[in-house]
Structure 1
Amino acid sequence: MKVAVLDIKGKDTGRKADLSDAVYKIEPNNHAIYLDVKQYLAHQRQGTHKSKERAEIVGSTRKIKKQKGTGTARAGSIKSPVFRGGGRIFGPQPRDYGQKVNKNVKRLARKSALSIKQQEKAILVVEDFQFEQPKTKDFVDILKSLGIENKKSLFVLGDTNNNVYLSSRNLEGSEVVTNTELSTYKILNANNIVLLEGALEGIESNLNK
């Protein structure tokens, strides 16, 4: 599948990029996408929630009232869960929410996500570019030239480029990743995917193992 390569001004360079049908033109597998996105979101949870149980409450151990004759229920400790300030029954405890997803399923999910974006005509291929220094204005100019300044965008680089990353960091709707950091969630969460030429080979290599 041939796709036009644009420059940072949004103009056609006259060159074509060859996108593999095995990555960008498959029948999307919705269940694989569901599993991969579910794992990604689960890994975002810190799992540090914690409430104190009865044994962890600091308080008096004195029996708070006599056993009989009060007309109310028996009560032996102020730390009981039935009293305000007492321990919590079956409260949340620290845990790992991580889930395991087979590597082949993850690759299938990412190829499915890319194929969906290609069907939506939401993938742009742009020639590699560099910034001499981090500058948000320069990155915004590229977004405007490509016509995606008011949309969520995901830029995929071939290699780490600190100046490009820092230039985009203050923009809420844009994210910059390398081809090895590409995830199903990030692909689907963006309105437009901007693939730099230098990332194409790495993406296809990672997803066709």
Structure 2
Amino acid sequence: MKLDVITLDAGKAGSVELSDDIFAIGEVRADLLQRAVKWQLSRRQAGTHRAKERAEIARTGKKFGRQKGGGSARHGSRRAPIFVGGGKAHGPKVRSHATELPKKVRALALKHALSSKAGSSSLIVLDEARLDAPKTAALKAQFAKLGLTSALIIDGETLDENFALAARNIPHVDVLPAQGLNVYDVLRRDTLVLTKSAVEKINERFAAKESA
């Protein structure tokens, strides 16, 4: 598929050929996208929540009442979970929430995410994402010309420092290098913006995976 290339000033800068195997798969599979997003978010969970169990409570273990005749149930320790201040029964433990997802499924999900943006006309190709100075107001005005209010901008191997500094103060706009392209960030923004360098890196990325 062919797409027009534009500049930050909304001017035309030729066109670029996008691979149909990456950007025009056809029917987008929501199940693959869901699995990829779940895999990403599960790896971000800290899993550091923890509660003390009975053996970790700093309380005496001495039997505090008579075995019989006290008028209440028999108990041997105030550290038991039924008492206020006692240990937590089956409480949370430090663990990893990460799940597994095969590399081929991850790659296919990313293709479907890219295809979903291309299929809904929510994909823009920029000539380059560079600024002479890190001016947020100027960049915001350029985004207004392009109609960008919620966008993920993917550049080449490295980001232009001025562009990244100017864009980080604009709400609902994310800027990532090509190696940071992922399903979750593609889906969470309304528009996907790729530079020509990003398109080359994406093609190289999938070519390397298919040859592996």
TM-score by length of 2: 0.92
Cα deviation code 1:181-206 (max 9, x no counterpart): 11111111110001111110101221
Deviation at 1:29, TM superposition (A): 2.9
Cα deviation code 1:40-71 (max 9, x no counterpart): 11011100000000011111222121111012
Partner of 1:41: 41
Contact 1:154 1:175 (8 Å CA) reproduced: yes
Deviation at 1:16, TM superposition (A): 0.6
In structure 2, how many angstroms separate the alpha carbons of the residues matched to 1:24 and 1:163?
Answer: 29
Deviation at 1:172, TM superposition (A): 2.7
Partner of 2:75: 75
Query: What SS class does the counterpart of residue 125 from structure 1 fall into?
Result: strand
Contact 2:157 2:201 (8 Å CA) reproduced: no
AA aligned opposite 2:48: T
1:22-171 matches, within 5 Å, as 22-27=21-26, 28-149=28-149, 152-161=150-159, 162-171=161-170
Partner of 2:177: 178
Partner of 1:206: 205
Cα deviation code 1:73-118 (max 9, x no counterpart): 1111111100001000000000011112111111100100111111
Deviation at 1:166, TM superposition (A): 2.0
Query: What SS class does the counterpart of residue 144 from structure 1 fall into?
Result: helix
RMSD: 1.3
Contact 2:79 2:85 (8 Å CA) reproduced: yes
In structure 2, how many angstroms separate the alpha carbons of the residues matched to 1:170 and 1:35?
Answer: 31
Deviation at 1:38, TM superposition (A): 0.8
In structure 2, how many angstroms separate the alpha carbons of the residues matched to 1:84 and 1:153?
Answer: 50
AA aligned opposite 1:178: P
In structure 1, how many angstroms separate the alpha carbons of the residues matched to 2:188 and 2:124?
Answer: 16
In structure 1, how many angstroms separate the alpha carbons of the residues matched to 2:170 and 2:76?
Answer: 58
Structure 2 stretches lacking a partner, 5+ long: none
In structure 2, how many angstroms separate the alpha carbons of the residues matched to 1:155 and 1:32?
Answer: 23
Aligned-pair identity (%): 33
In structure 2, how many angstroms separate the alpha carbons of the residues matched to 1:63 and 1:18?
Answer: 79
AA aligned opposite 2:7: D
Displacement over 4 Å in runs of 4+: none
In structure 1, how many angstroms separate the alpha carbons of the residues matched to 2:65 and 2:133?
Answer: 73
**Which one is further off, 152-161 or 128-137?**
128-137
In structure 1, how many angstroms separate the alpha carbons of the residues matched to 2:105 and 2:184?
Answer: 14
TM-score by length of 1: 0.93
In structure 2, how many angstroms separate the alpha carbons of the residues matched to 1:191 and 1:205?
Answer: 25
